[in-house]
């Protein structure tokens, strides 16, 4: 894999998908359907999926591709694959709250190694460079030429006053019970994979997820966080969160800056 080419391709596709998503988001109305797992899907999810899938297949025809909207057709038995959530945070999109993202990542040997997370409504974009380090690009965004980029790095956390971020749509009692194990300065909520990015930039120290997620929800955010020096581990035994699992379902996990003194579940 040519990582320089990958960065250019996924950045451009994320921006193109973001334009399509915002076109639908800003319309007076849009269609919402319910998938077999009872989760919502909109025409924006489907349009972004088609655009990104076509672009990735054209650029990398020999690399396996997994996307949320085509998950039922995947029978994956490879260690390297591209994985896409064309619109992560569909509930936030439907409620017009802005906390939704386009996620595209490359997984190698079970680990997300490169990725892009673009939040079009918030005009924030994070991605890994060819060397694996992570940057935030400052807008306005040009699809063909990257603008000003700022290297990002996780915090050096103060364990007596941690900054936490948790899900906006899935913040339940189990999450609150785990957060209560830490000495916190503040806690904020965010939707979609933006939570990984807030840890990556040092805006938060810790993101525990005690709830259902799929690999396409987390791969790009994990790649972005890894490139900024962060870690993602399983909630139960603190071993690394890996990819290519049967059914693409994740266990509970914790994303954090390495200085955080993790508590047991």
C-alpha–C-alpha distance, residues 59 and 95, integer Å: 34
Residues 54, 82 contacting (CB under 8 angstroms): no
Angle ∠(265,126,217) on CA atoms, nearest 5:
45
Question: From the annotation, which residues make up the binding site for substrate?
Answer: 68, 87-90, 217
C-alpha–C-alpha distance, residues 98 and 50, integer Å: 22
Select from 188, 224, 222 the least CA-distant residue to 205: 188
Question: From the annotation, which residues make up the binding site for Mg(2+)?
Answer: 68, 85, 87-88, 217
Alpha carbon distances (Å) from 28 to 10, 12, 22, 42: 29, 27, 12, 14
Question: From the annotation, which residues make up the binding site?
Answer: 68, 85, 87-90, 217
Question: Which residues are within 8 A (CB) of 179 and not within 5 positions of it... i.e. 6 or more apart?
Answer: 164, 166, 187, 208
Select from 186, 114, 191, 193 the least CA-distant residue to 155: 186
Residues 17, 86 contacting (CB under 8 angstroms): yes
C-alpha–C-alpha distance, residues 221 and 217, integer Å: 8
C-alpha–C-alpha distance, residues 242 and 249, integer Å: 11
Indicate the pairing of strand 32-34 with strand 184-190.
Answer: unpaired
Question: Which residues are within 8 A (CB) of 55 and not within 5 positions of it... i.e. 6 or more apart?
Answer: 9, 12, 13, 16
């Amino acid at each position: 894999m040519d990582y320089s080419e990958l960065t250019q391709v996924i950045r451009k596709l994320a921006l193109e998908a973001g334009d399509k998503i915002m076109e639908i988001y800003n319309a007076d109305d849009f269609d919402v359907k319910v998938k077999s797992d009872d989760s919502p899907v909109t025409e924006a999810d489907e349009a972004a999926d088609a655009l990104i899938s076509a672009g990735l297949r054209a650029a990398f025809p020999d690399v396996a591709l997994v996307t949320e909207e085509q998950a039922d057709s995947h029978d994956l038995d490879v260690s390297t694959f591209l994985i896409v959530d064309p619109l992560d945070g569909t509930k936030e999109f439907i409620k017009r709250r802005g906390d939704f993202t386009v996620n595209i990542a490359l997984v190698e040997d079970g680990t997300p190694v490169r990725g892009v997370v673009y939040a079009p409504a918030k005009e924030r974009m994070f991605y890994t460079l060819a060397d694996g380090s992570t940057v935030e690009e400052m807008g306005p965004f040009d699809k063909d030429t990257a603008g000003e980029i700022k290297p990002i790095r996780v915090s050096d956390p103060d364990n007596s006053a941690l900054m936490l971020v948790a899900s906006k749509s899935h913040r339940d009692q189990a999450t609150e019970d785990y957060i209560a194990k830490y000495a916190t300065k503040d806690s904020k909520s965010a939707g979609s994979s933006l939570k990984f990015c807030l840890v990556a930039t040092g805006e938060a120290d810790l993101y525990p997820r005690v709830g259902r997620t799929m690999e396409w929800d987390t791969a790009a955010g994990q790649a972005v966080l890894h490139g900024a020096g962060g870690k993602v581990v399983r909630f139960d035994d603190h071993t690394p969160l890996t990819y290519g699992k049967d059914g693409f379902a994740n266990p509970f996990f914790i994303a954090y800056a390495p200085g955080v003194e993790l508590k047991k579940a």
